[in-house]
């Protein structure tokens, strides 16, 4: 049986953002530490917002707990996906289309609670 700690808490603002067709989202494990993913996020942010008047219009990062693991959720305007892909490649981070899953004994046990065609996973 799952308990409440197994679920990502979604508020209205987060749900609207995840559903917006203006943004693409990248989910990556934050803790336990993944220095390559953290570096990728920081460099992506720097590249995407260096000329922006409002960072929030282009690039947003949330940290969320799901199944006892801290996850970073990066939301970036769809026109900046090429920037994210280039930075990820330079940081040796792979981008997989689709949501994160947790596997136990070779079986998928948990799927990230938010999913649509604009969500990718950093690995």
The total of other beta-carbon atoms located within 10 Å of residue 63's CB is: 10
Half-sphere exposure of 56 (CA within 13 A, CB side): 1
Q: Tell me the pLDDT tens digit for each residue of 16-37.
A: 888 888 999 999 988 888 899 9
Model confidence band, residue 49 (pLDDT cutoffs 50, 70, 90): confident
Higher confidence at residue 80 or residue 112? 80
pTM reported for the whole predicted model = 0.81
**Each residue's pLDDT tens digit, 74-104:** 999 999 899 999 999 999 999 999 888 887 8
Return all residues near 84 (Cβ < 8 A) that are at least 6 apart.
24, 26, 44, 48, 74, 76, 95
């Amino acid at each position: 049986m799952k308990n409440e700690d197994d679920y990502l808490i979604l508020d209205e603002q987060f749900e609207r953002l995840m559903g917006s067709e203006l943004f693409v989202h990248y989910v990556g494990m934050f803790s336990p530490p993944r220095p390559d993913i953290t570096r990728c996020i920081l460099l992506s942010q720097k590249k995407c917002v260096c000329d922006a008047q409002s960072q929030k219009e282009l690039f947003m990062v949330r940290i969320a707990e799901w199944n006892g693991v801290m996850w970073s959720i990066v939301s970036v305007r769809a026109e900046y996906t090429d920037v994210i892909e280039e930075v990820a490649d330079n940081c040796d981070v792979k981008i997989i289309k689709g949501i994160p899953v947790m596997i136990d004994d070779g079986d998928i046990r948990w799927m990230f609670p938010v999913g649509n065609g604009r969500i990718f996973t950093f690995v």
